[in-house]
Chain A
């Protein structure tokens, strides 16, 4: 039995005019929260659709929990929230949920009580109106999003794949989604989500993979990725500003390659081979009063910009990630 939730090996997907995914390999450990990051048109949605056997790769193999993803029973263990949300508009909410649960192999007798539970949890029932009996198109957009999310989790999947889950969510629902993802992780489930909002990924993910133009740029644990990028930035905050010798120290190109005055603090990128301890020592020697001296790891956002850069963002692509 593999301890990988997903194992993608050398997957290629070509379309008429371009290559959507180029020789992509990645591994997602069981029980982790995994971020699939990349600019629009990088191939995120194509990758996710290939994982779910919605589209077939031209080459390579994909397995889920150690089994080929073409097996129906393995896909029953997966919950999927697509980027483009949609439900049967003229159908009763409860019937839609029951239908989607049955497609995942859940028996109606099991699905029924669970639907009640979930509707109550998302305050879609128990209030002034039981929305479970309403037709989907009577629901507000926010409610429809909740129903779609319930549909993703109703069959208690071991692997949850969320494509751009934060798009279109207000801050309250975004917070609720974060909580839900972390609860899934606590329960030992694996969660993969794609996003181009690095903040969310940085806060929630154990591991990430950044892809650009269908190719993997880097992957690994968030800590590992950051460590590899190196902690070469220092935040320095000086009482009274950079006067006297302190300013000279910060301008010493032997020590500091670049200073970014952020008004409240200076963000210094250390020169190659320079040591942060030497910088601290020199500043004290110069008589500066130090309010803050912090070794900053680069944010995922910075790593992303640095590694992907403007060149990675193609324009005029399908927009399907």
Chain B
């Protein structure tokens, strides 16, 4: 037991001290923060600008539609730009006959610097809901054009309702409709978070587990290969049993993986909490974000609120089981061969096992209670990824979770047993890469 810990300690300390570990531990949270910052900036850019006020409205509708649009645009508080900017679009009432001339005048004006950005031409067919025209410098801004379009549509509808005899204040009341469809996940055990959050959490857990199990599994393989090619393995195995060396290595690398993930989450949360207020200051979503988060909690921590403690504990347990399962198989692959290239080949069966799980993630997400999802959450090589994912997506009975975990542990013990036998022989076997028949013999003889 002491020796197992000695092996694990060396593995852990040497890896944690390495430049690669320090770089990736600090680099990934920096990247995460950058992605968060960019997404905040991009989303804040996704509202229309005050440019939509700096336009001329050529109103040939003959129904005062231009004035209504101008009023609404002036009053719109969601526009992005200088806060003091509350210019009113210039409305120019024209006849249908004079529209062409007004348009060419407006075009000339747009072409000059520091004049209007564009012009909106309302024709007599606008009120009947057929068409209107916009030309301007910002015509390629999707958000600006969307804003103009939606304002115009709403005003056309209101004008038509009034024409049909509805009172103006009633129309205004009716038009004020900011309905949002809110979705909530309903399960046997009650309500839990929003549906979209469930999918995100499920998928996030799946991909994090998958990636970290594979990355650290391959680290184990590389470590085994290093001990074999440098021949240091023989000295070590003369002091400890091969199983101890294998176990210590898996333990040490697993601890490295855990350390790194905790560091990632911790540093990312810290950086985002630090960066978020700066980015969000003065932006329209700032007030919403701070009021929603309230006090110390940041937008991210509230987003993670959907991830319950129970789910976290189970995901952690499955990480450890899944890592032990794949890492020992990777170690066996590493012990069979003599070079990095050969190792990649030897690891193909392990990789296929992992990839087969990953390829089925999509069907599981679409139907987390289906037969496929249920079967995959019981198989030892897929349950560590699929089961926590399903827990994010739907409700799984605790009995199933415990049962699948027991099966996964039994499977892992089997993998350790198998790998230890291959490892014991493979570590001292140099020369050509063994065939599968030979490996089968090792398993029998060891």
Measuring CB to CB, which residues of chain A are less than 8 angstroms from any residue of chain B?
16, 49, 52-55, 72, 75-76, 78, 80, 82, 84-91, 95, 99-100, 102-105, 148, 151
Given A87-B230, A88-B232, A100 contacting B14 (CB threshold 8 A): no
Question: Among the interface residues A84, A102, A103, which one has the most CB atoms of the partner chain B within 10 A?
Answer: A103
User: How many Å from the CB of A91 to the closest CB on chain B?
Assistant: 6
Given A16-B441, A88-B232, A103-B6, A54 contacting B14 (CB threshold 8 A): no
Given A16-B441, A91-B14, A103-B236, A86 contacting B3 (CB threshold 8 A): no
- Docked-complex contact A54 and B230, CB < 8 angstroms: no
- Docked-complex contact A105 and B2, CB < 8 angstroms: yes
Interface: B354 (CB within 8 A): no
User: How many Å from the CB of A86 to the closest CB on chain B?
Assistant: 3
A307, B14: Cα distance in complex, Å: 51
Q: Name the prevailing secondary structure of the B interface residues.
A: helix
- Docked-complex contact A102 and B6, CB < 8 angstroms: yes
- Docked-complex contact A86 and B230, CB < 8 angstroms: yes
In the complex, 30 of the A-B residue pairs with CB atoms within 8 angstroms, ordered by the A residue number, are A16-B441, A52-B238, A54-B234, A54-B238, A54-B428, A55-B428, A72-B3, A75-B238, A76-B239, A78-B238, A80-B235, A82-B234, A82-B235, A84-B231, A84-B234, A86-B230, A86-B235, A87-B230, A88-B226, A88-B232, A95-B10, A99-B10, A100-B235, A100-B239, A102-B3, A103-B6, A103-B7, A103-B239, A103-B240, A148-B235
A174, B231: Cα distance in complex, Å: 22
Interface: B237 (CB within 8 A): yes
A89, B232: Cα distance in complex, Å: 9
Chain B residue numbers with a CB within 8 Å of A82 are 231, 234-235, 238
- How would residues 418 to 446 of chain B score, 1 for a CB under 8 Å from any chain A CB and 0 otherwise? 00000000001000000000000100000
- How would residues 3 to 14 of chain B score, 1 for a CB under 8 Å from any chain A CB and 0 otherwise? 100110010001
- Docked-complex contact B236 and A49, CB < 8 angstroms: no
Chain B residue numbers with a CB within 8 Å of A105 are 2
Taking CB as reference atom, which chain A residue is nearest B231?
A86
User: How many Å from the CB of B336 to the closest CB on chain A?
Assistant: 16
Question: Among the interface residues B231, B237, B239, which one has the most CB atoms of the partner chain A within 10 A?
Answer: B239
Chain B residue numbers with a CB within 8 Å of A84 are 231, 234
- Docked-complex contact B235 and A151, CB < 8 angstroms: yes
Taking CB as reference atom, which chain B residue is nearest A98?
B10
Given A54-B428, A84-B231, A85-B231, A99 contacting B238 (CB threshold 8 A): no
Taking CB as reference atom, which chain A residue is nearest B233?
A86
A82, B428: Cα distance in complex, Å: 12
User: How many Å from the CB of A252 to the closest CB on chain B?
Assistant: 56
Interface size class of B (residues with CB under 8 A): 20 to 34
User: How many Å from the CB of B409 to the closest CB on chain A?
Assistant: 27
Chain A residue numbers with a CB within 8 Å of B18 are 90
- Docked-complex contact A103 and B234, CB < 8 angstroms: no
With beta carbons under 8 angstroms apart, the residue of B2, B230, B234, B239 that contacts A89 is B230
Instruction: List B197-240 residues whose CB lies under 8 Å from chain A.
Output: 226-227, 230-240
5 cross-chain pairs, A with B, having the tightest CB-CB distances, nearest first: A86-B231, A103-B239, A84-B231, A86-B230, A80-B238
Chain A residue numbers with a CB within 8 Å of B241 are 53, 72
A54, B233: Cα distance in complex, Å: 10
Taking CB as reference atom, which chain A residue is nearest B431?
A318
User: How many Å from the CB of B228 to the closest CB on chain A?
Assistant: 9
- Docked-complex contact B428 and A99, CB < 8 angstroms: no
Question: Among the interface residues A87, A88, A148, which one has the most CB atoms of the partner chain B within 10 A?
Answer: A88
Chain B residue numbers with a CB within 8 Å of A148 are 235
Q: A49-B428, A86-B233 are in contact. List 14 more A-B contacts (CB 8 A).
A: A72-B3, A76-B239, A80-B235, A82-B234, A85-B231, A86-B230, A86-B232, A88-B14, A99-B10, A102-B3, A102-B6, A103-B236, A105-B2, A148-B235
Chain A residue numbers with a CB within 8 Å of B441 are 16
- Docked-complex contact A99 and B6, CB < 8 angstroms: yes
Taking CB as reference atom, which chain A residue is nearest B6?
A102
Taking CB as reference atom, which chain A residue is nearest B242?
A54
User: How many Å from the CB of A137 to the closest CB on chain B?
Assistant: 9
Chain A residue numbers with a CB within 8 Å of B14 are 88, 90-91, 95
User: How many Å from the CB of B246 to the closest CB on chain A?
Assistant: 14
Chain A residue numbers with a CB within 8 Å of B2 are 105
User: How many Å from the CB of A143 to the closest CB on chain B?
Assistant: 16
With beta carbons under 8 angstroms apart, the residue of B7, B233, B239 that contacts A75 is B239
Given A103-B3, A103-B240, A88 contacting B230 (CB threshold 8 A): yes
